[in-house]
Amino acid sequence: MSKRSTLDQNPTHAKIISLDQVRKIRDLSSRDEEYAYQARILGLDKLSLLEEMVRFQQERSEKGELSLEMMARGKYLFKALEDRAETQELKGLARSYRRHLEFEMAEKLQQG
C-alpha cells in the first residue's frame, strides 16, 4: 500500500495549521515589508521623496481606499517629507497628511 493511500484512509495524519500561527507569520511578513519601506524612504533625496509621494497618491486613487499597510507606508513617507521640507507650506502639508493617516489608522484598528 502506498503512503498516499494510507494518508487518505487515515485523516489524522493531515497537517493542521493554527490560524494564530498564520496570522503571526503574516504580521511578521508585513512588518518586514514596512521596515524595508521605511529604510528605503530614509535613503531617498528630496526629489525622490516627492516622486514617491506622487506614486503613493496615484496608488491611493487607483485603489480608492487605504489599507493599513498603505497608511503605515504613507505615515513614513510624509514624516520624511515633513522633516526634509524646505518650505513651511510643504512641511505643513506633510504634517497634516501624516496626522490624517495616523487618525485613519487608529480608527481602522479600533473597528477591528
The whole-number pLDDT of residue 51 equals 95
Sign of CA dihedral 69, 72, 78, 83: negative
Rounded to whole angstroms, what are the CA distances from 39 to 33, 73, 80, 97?
Answer: 10, 11, 11, 20
* Among 75, 62, 59, residue whose Cα is nearest residue 108: 75
Task: Domain ranges for the chain, please list them.
Answer: 17-111
The whole-number pLDDT of residue 18 equals 65
Burial of 47 (0-12, 13-18, 19+ CB in 10 A): exposed
The whole-number pLDDT of residue 34 equals 85
pTM of the model: 0.70
pLDDT per residue of the chain (112 residues) written in tens, 0 to 9: 555 544 455 555 556 666 666 565 566 567 788 889 999 999 999 899 999 999 999 999 999 888 888 998 999 999 999 999 999 999 999 999 999 999 998 888 888 6
